[in-house]
Structure 1
Amino acid sequence: MKFDFITNGNIHHLRSINSKQSHFVVFGCDQMTFTKLRIIAPDESPNTDGIKIGKSKGINITSVTIGTGDDCIAMLAGTRNVLISDVFCGPGHGISVGSLGKNEGEEDVDNIVVKNCTISGTNNGVRIKSWAVQLKKTLMASNFLYEDIVMDNVQFPIIIDQDYCPHSSCQEDSSVQSSVQISNVAYKNIRGSGNSEVAASFKCSQNKPCQGITMDNINLWPYASDSGSLSNVCLNVNGASYGQHNPPSCI
């Protein structure tokens, strides 16, 4: 279902089952509310994003259950002023910003809040991803807050990946760096279990290091009790840590 160039829309009490591709696509919209939705697709179904948002502002998503084979919620270039709250996500690829920075002319992403959500049985938890592509103009992705989020059996709970490459045909070239500047991202009161070795992974661009990344009271442990402990990965990231951390913060 597509929503193009709508202002002051209210979408509520709908169920979307087994969409062939994305269930809800929001483009060029202003002041839209999505509430009391149930979105369902098999976990192996490709490109079945729950809610995909691009070039839109003032989007409010609340009290929604999403289980798909791709991102539960995907926020693409030009997305601003989004509040996501009381969302259950799983299965799927988590709640994502991006991928960004693949093409010239993309618009900035700004002011994203994700809070009071549960992410369960997904590949990723909360993720920001950008391509390693050299653009003429720096793309800004800034002012994000992830707060009061429960992770349950999530493969990679917290991710910033500025070398995003979903295809095996991608050619790795260390001389090409992302042109997306990620800044002012706060992770606060995130707890739960991960099923890989990594709790938080920040792989930022050498050309555009991540700036102002803060971690405040993060408690993530292995899903399997006999799996040892998790660790964090930091590359080209600047910021600060506050409160208690399990595993120890790398910022």
Structure 2
Amino acid sequence: IAMLSGNTNFDIYNVTCGPGHGISVGSLGKDRNEKNVNGLTVRDTIFAGTSDGIRIKTWESSASTIVISNLVYENLQMIDVGTPINIDQKYCPYTSCQKLGDSHIQIQNVTLKNIWGTSRNKVAVKFQCSKSFPCKNVHSSDINLKHNGVDGPAITLCENIKGSATGKMIPPHCLN
């Protein structure tokens, strides 16, 4: 499932994803005339064998300046998912991409609540936000994701993000 330019007020629930790419917002920022994405809830959903669970992806050198806001992700089970939680503002799927700057897309007001299961990648929670437009108001609570590989426990990656965390947080959070 992909939420694209201009999508607003979607409630996705009781879905089983897999295989595939999970549930994404984006990619956004490739075209100049894109519109804001606002009001997405994903709840009571299972991701099994997907490359990502929940993903927000924006082009690294974006052509548009828009806002992605008011996203709620809750009660999500991850079963052998590549990267269960993934905010990627350095998206560039081509080797020939010209990395001319940061994403100009603002991601804000994101809630991640009661997400559990297993990750194929050591980085189970990835918050790779734009340096020019840092992610803000990202709130996590009760995350329990275990890495099912042999190279140690799951970790969280944080770049350019402001938020908070409460409750049980595995892997340990890096929000402040």
| Structure 2 residue 175 is matched with structure 1 residue 244 | no
| Structure 2 residue 42 is matched with structure 1 residue 150 | no
User: Aligned residue for 1:12?
Assistant: none
SS in 1 for 2:15: strand
| Structure 1 residue 103, shift from structure 2 partner | 1.2
Structure 1 Cα separation of the partners of residues 152 and 106 of structure 2: 35
| Structure 2 residue 110 is matched with structure 1 residue 222 | no
Task: Name which one, 1 or 2, has greater alpha-carbon Rg.
Answer: 1
Could you report, residue by residue, the CA deviation over 1:47-105 in whole angstroms, capped at 9, with x for unpaired residues? Answer: xxxxxxxxxxxxxxxxxxxxxxxxxx001010000000000000001100000111112
Gaps of 5+ in 1: 1-72
TM-score (norm 1): 0.68
Over 3 Å counting, the alpha-carbon distance change for 1:172 and 1:138 in structure 2 is closer
User: Aligned residue for 2:132?
Assistant: 207
Could you report, residue by residue, the CA deviation over 1:163-185 in whole angstroms, capped at 9, with x for unpaired residues? Answer: 11112222334xx1111100000
| Structure 1 residue 134, shift from structure 2 partner | 4.5
Structure 1 Cα separation of the partners of residues 122 and 129 of structure 2: 19
Structure 1 Cα separation of the partners of residues 2 and 170 of structure 2: 28
Q: 1:180 aligns with which of 102, 105, 108?
A: 105
Structure 2 Cα separation of the partners of residues 138 and 170 of structure 1: 19
Structure 1 Cα separation of the partners of residues 62 and 87 of structure 2: 18
Task: Name the aligned partner's letter for residue 202 of structure 1.
Answer: F
User: Aligned residue for 1:94?
Assistant: 22
User: Aligned residue for 2:56?
Assistant: 128
User: Aligned residue for 1:189?
Assistant: 114
| Structure 1 residue 241, shift from structure 2 partner | 0.4
TM-score (norm 2): 0.96
Task: Name the aligned partner's letter for residue 38 of structure 2.
Answer: D
Structure 1 Cα separation of the partners of residues 105 and 41 of structure 2: 19
SS in 2 for 1:248: coil
User: Aligned residue for 2:96?
Assistant: 169
**Structure 1 segments of 4+ aligned residues over 6 angstroms from their partners:** none
Task: Name the aligned partner's letter for residue 103 of structure 2.
Answer: S
Structure 1 Cα separation of the partners of residues 98 and 121 of structure 2: 25
SS in 1 for 2:19: coil
Structure 1 Cα separation of the partners of residues 55 and 79 of structure 2: 15
Structure 1 Cα separation of the partners of residues 24 and 102 of structure 2: 20
| Structure 2 residue 107 is matched with structure 1 residue 107 | no
Q: Percentage identity across aligned positions?
A: 44
Q: List aligned pairs for 1:28-47, cutoff 5 A.
A: none
Structure 2 Cα separation of the partners of residues 107 and 155 of structure 1: 29
| Structure 1 residue 223, shift from structure 2 partner | 2.2
2:18 and 2:48 in contact (8 A); partners too: yes
Query: Looking at both structures, which has the greater relative contact order when contacts are Cα pairs under 8 Å and sequence separation is at least 6?
Result: 2
Structure 1 Cα separation of the partners of residues 116 and 159 of structure 2: 22
